[in-house]
């Protein structure tokens, strides 16, 4: 695939980070996620995470959140299936602390393809299976992490599958979990590990294990 719609703005600065690669057709994603980070995520999610050894974040999009999270965590694991988004992510996240996968997190190993809803907001791309699928999915459990303090999923209605692929990780480490699309079946799945909703950021539902959970 030729990456025809990627540019780098060397003068753009955000949270002390300069030079950002971005998909040039995108006019919506940057201001939305930048605003959410400044007005909500830093104040709502990060203070709940007591240890900051490892965060698993997806979708990585063009890399803003992974790049910023590396200022707080020892290691950042991120996945982004769209090739153009992932190229930008790789440029923006040129940091050994950030482990990057051109893949989707799911419940099993299979191939998926990108479903583009609009190129004006590259954060809205979805994944689907079918003819022409070529992008791999990984289970978070396959990462065999030695810690997981925050699991942050913004994967355009794929949250349920990503959670199921992280069952062992969740059961072992009980990370703080943030979900953009938090449905009743997600809450039911997480309740077996003692999770309750504790807060809401601009876009994400935040869940933690109950203090009385054994």
For range 33-42, the mean pLDDT: 94
Task: State the Cα–Cα distance between residues 6 and 23, nearest whole angstrom.
Answer: 4
For range 118-133, the mean pLDDT: 89
pTM score, two decimals? 0.95
CA angle 151, 40, 145 (to 5 degrees): 15
Helix (H/G/I), strand (E/B), else coil: 197: strand
Tokens of 164: 């199921």
Helices (H) and strands (E) counted in the chain, each on its own, are 7, 13
Quick one: CA torsion of 127, 129, 134, 140, rounded to 10 degrees? 60
Q: What are phi and psi of 187, to 5 degrees?
A: -65, -40
CA angle 27, 30, 34 (to 5 degrees): 150
Tokens of 138: 């990984």
Residue 105 is predicted with a pLDDT of 97
For the cut 70, the answer to whether the pLDDT of residue 214 exceeds it is: no
CB neighbour class for 184 (10 Å; exposed up to 12, middle 13-18, buried from 19): exposed
Intra-chain end-to-end CA distance of the chain, in Å? 50
**Structure confidence by residue, pLDDT tens digits, 175-194:** 999 999 899 999 999 999 99
Confidence of residue 108 (pLDDT cuts 50, 70, 90): very high
Count of beta carbons in the 10 Å neighbourhood of residue 30: 21
Confidence of residue 121 (pLDDT cuts 50, 70, 90): confident
Determine what percent of the chain is predicted with pLDDT higher than 70.
97
Domains of the chain, CATH where assigned? 30-209 (3.40.50.150)
Q: Are the C-beta atoms of 179 and 186 separated by less than 8 Å?
A: yes
CA dist 24 to 5, 37, 85, 144, 176, Å? 5, 21, 11, 36, 34
């Amino acid at each position: 695939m030729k990456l025809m719609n990627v540019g780098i703005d060397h003068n753009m600065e955000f949270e002390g980070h300069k030079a950002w690669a971005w998909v040039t057709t995108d006019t919506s994603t940057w201001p939305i996620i930048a605003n959410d980070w400044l007005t909500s995520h830093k104040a709502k999610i990060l203070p709940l995470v007591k240890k900051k050894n490892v965060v698993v974040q997806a979708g990585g999009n063009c890399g803003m959140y992974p790049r910023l999270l590396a200022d707080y965590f020892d290691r950042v694991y991120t996945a982004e299936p769209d090739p153009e988004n992932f190229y930008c992510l790789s440029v923006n996240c040129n940091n050994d602390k950030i482990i990057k996968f051109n893949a989707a997190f799911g419940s099993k190993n299979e191939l998926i393809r990108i479903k583009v809803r609009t190129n004006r907001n590259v954060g809205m791309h979805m994944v689907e299976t079918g003819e022409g699928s070529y992008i791999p999915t990984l289970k978070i459990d396959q990462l065999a992490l030695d810690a997981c303090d925050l699991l942050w999923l913004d994967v355009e209605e794929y949250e349920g599958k990503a959670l199921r692929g992280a069952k062992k990780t969740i059961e072992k480490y009980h990370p703080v979990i943030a979900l953009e699309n938090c449905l009743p079946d997600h809450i039911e799945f997480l309740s077996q590990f003692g999770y309750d909703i504790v807060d809401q950021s601009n876009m994400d539902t935040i869940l933690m294990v109950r203090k009385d959970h054994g």
